Amino acid sequence: MGKINNITVFIFWGLSQNPVVEEVCFVVFSFFYTVTLLGNLLIILTVSFGNLFKSPMYFFLNNLSFVDICYSSVTAPKMIVDLSAKSKTISYVGCILQLFGVHFFGCVEIFTLVLMAYDRYVAICKPLHYMTIMDRDRCSKMLLGIWVGAFIHAIMQLSLVVQLPFCGPNEIDHYFCDVHPLLKLACTDTYVTGIFDTFNSGTISLGSFVLLLISYTVILVSLRKHSAEGRHKALSTCGSHIAVVIIFFGPCTFMYMRPDTTFSGDKMVALFYTIIAPMLNPLIYTLRNTEVKKEMKKLWVRKVYWKTNSK
């Protein structure tokens, strides 16, 4: 018997069915998305046109900002439009593509944060060999590797859903398409599929989270041997990384470590890693990083100087 699929359109329940709440959410998340775009673009411009691109840490930060823009753009624009629309619909193909985008860019973000932790580990624990270990060629290869790895992960998630039969209902209690909400709508037993999804996404989320905790613990322990000035600088950099890790990985691990189980509050938890974390990343990295702030000031002075001379 072939796969049955009578569904061509899915309907989102969205964040709320209350018109007043939707109006408030529309304003709030429109602001959040604007800050995400402008903040991450500012970091990309600062790293690219400043003197930071040669540093592996900022090379990875540049990638993180680019991924944040892509990742939030997969879900935020559609959610914002739906908040002001009477009918929150998405086509079957659109839903599948959104699911792919969420897992692809989300996985790249996770792997980028792991690479940034490794970069800090080498810089603090093996400072004499730092430039040898983290040379540009190796950094580029690692970056290529995480994009390929994320693509494989997203394809695996995609294959879980496209083989499922959907014959109704078509209402998704969420604001974007993800594996678990779609499993609830399939006209077949999805227990094994749910287990596989948990093993795949859950292992990546929890495994990376544990790896990051171990790496930052090793870094913090090794800081005891550094001078007070070096310790303060390293703590400032690592502090911003740890803040990003907690904001992103806490909710993400909670979501993907539960096989075949969904809660009504899942979409609120998902806001942290799809909307809030990409918005906070540029704020955290710029406010706690003196080099980035210094380069931003240089770029601003250069812009003002160019405008003055061009008149």
Per-residue model confidence as pLDDT tens digits over 19-50: 899 999 999 999 999 999 999 998 888 888 77
Q: What is the pLDDT of residue 280?
A: 87
Between 260 and 248, where is the model more confident? Answer: 248
Q: What is the pLDDT of residue 296?
A: 67
Rounded mean pLDDT, 179-187? 88
Whether residue 221 lies inside any domain: the answer is yes
Whether residue 294 lies inside any domain: the answer is yes
Pairing state between β 89-91 and 171-172: unpaired
The domain spanning residue 21 has which CATH number?
Answer: 1.20.1070.10
CA atoms within 13 A on the CB side of 207: 9
Between 296 and 304, where is the model more confident? Answer: 296
Rounded mean pLDDT, 66-84? 95
Task: Provide the mean pLDDT of the chain.
Answer: 84
Cβ within 8 Å of residue 223, ≥6 positions away: 124, 230, 231, 234, 235
For residue 304, pLDDT over 60 is answered with no
Between 175 and 189, where is the model more confident? Answer: 175
| C-alpha to C-alpha distance for 285 and 121, rounded to whole angstroms | 18
By mean pLDDT, which of 23-37, 39-53, 73-87, 162-176 is the weakest? 39-53
Instruction: Give the pLDDT band of residue 1 (cuts 50, 70, 90).
Output: very low
Q: What is the pLDDT of residue 310?
A: 56
Contact 86, 11 (CB under 8 A): no
Contact 95, 177 (CB under 8 A): yes
What is the reported pTM? 0.88
Whether residue 311 lies inside any domain: the answer is no
Phi, psi dihedral angles at 5 (to 5 degrees): -145, 95
Beta-bridge mates of residue 10: 90
Cβ within 8 Å of residue 231, ≥6 positions away: 223, 224
Q: What is the pLDDT of residue 309?
A: 56
Contact 101, 74 (CB under 8 A): yes
Residues 208-242: pLDDT tens digits? 888 888 888 888 888 777 677 667 766 766 777 78
Cβ within 8 Å of residue 93, ≥6 positions away: none
Between 236 and 17, where is the model more confident? Answer: 17
By mean pLDDT, which of 85-94, 95-104, 189-198 is the weakest? 189-198
Q: Which residue from 268, 278, 242, 257 is spatially nearest to 106, judged by alpha carbons?
A: 278
Burial of 141 (C-beta count, 10 Å sphere; 0-12/13-18/19+):
exposed
Domain count, the chain: 1
Q: What is the pLDDT of residue 95?
A: 94
Whether residue 213 lies inside any domain: the answer is yes
- Helix ranges, the chain (H): 19-49, 56-83, 92-125, 130-133, 136-162, 179-183, 191-197, 203-222, 228-256, 266-271, 277-287, 290-310
Whether residue 2 lies inside any domain: the answer is no
Whether residue 25 lies inside any domain: the answer is yes
Peptide bond into 259 cis (omega under 30): no
Cβ within 8 Å of residue 254, ≥6 positions away: 269
Q: What is the pLDDT of residue 303?
A: 55
Residue 171 structural domain: 9-301
Whether residue 65 lies inside any domain: the answer is yes
Instruction: Give the pLDDT band of residue 81 (cuts 50, 70, 90).
Output: very high
Whether residue 51 lies inside any domain: the answer is yes
Instruction: Give the pLDDT band of residue 295 (cuts 50, 70, 90).
Output: low
